[in-house]
Amino acid sequence: MVLEQVLDSLRKGKDLEEVLRDSKWQTFEELVAHVLEQHSYKTRLHFRFSKGRREIDILAEKGKNCLAIECKRWRGRSCSPSRLRVAAEEHLEKCKLLEAMLERKVLPILVTLLDIGLYTLSNVYVVPVFKLNEFLLGLEVMK
């Protein structure tokens, strides 16, 4: 399922998790980028750095905000707390390298399919895709 099909299904009232479950991981990343673009972020998918050895799923920039987003389509039993913690720690390490390269502050974010509240883990924001819009609106208020 491609992004346009996902958006069409959502417009028809289908459940987001159900639609994303039937799509490829690339479509999940494209949907997250689409939401960011609706908030006027400029996005780059699969941003490679450190001589191509590191990759951020989505680099999003808007004014002073620079977001480094790792998309995890995990759900249910496929995502234990320890697996999520390891992903957050690995993402934070990549973000530190990215900050040094860009010479600016980068906000590390994991976007998941898990229906959980917004929280931080190892200084990384963990944001359910269902709450991404709310999270981005909160960033605009904190300026």
Q: With 0-12 CB in 10 A as exposed, 13-18 as middle and 19+ as buried, what is 116? A: middle
Q: Do 49 and 98 contact (CB within 8 A), yes or no?
A: yes
Place of tokens 């009232």: 13
Beta 107-112 vs 124-128: how paired, if at all?
parallel
pTM listed for this prediction = 0.87
pLDDT tens digits for range 36-72: 999 999 999 999 998 778 999 999 999 989 999 999 9
| pLDDT at site 142 | 63
The C-alpha atoms of residue 94 and residue 87 are separated, in whole angstroms, by: 11
Residues 6 or more apart whose CB falls under 8 angstroms from that of 67 comprise 36, 41, 58, 59, 60, 61, 106, 107, 109
All residue ranges of the chain with pLDDT < 70 are 1, 75-79, 117-118, 141-143
| pLDDT at site 6 | 76
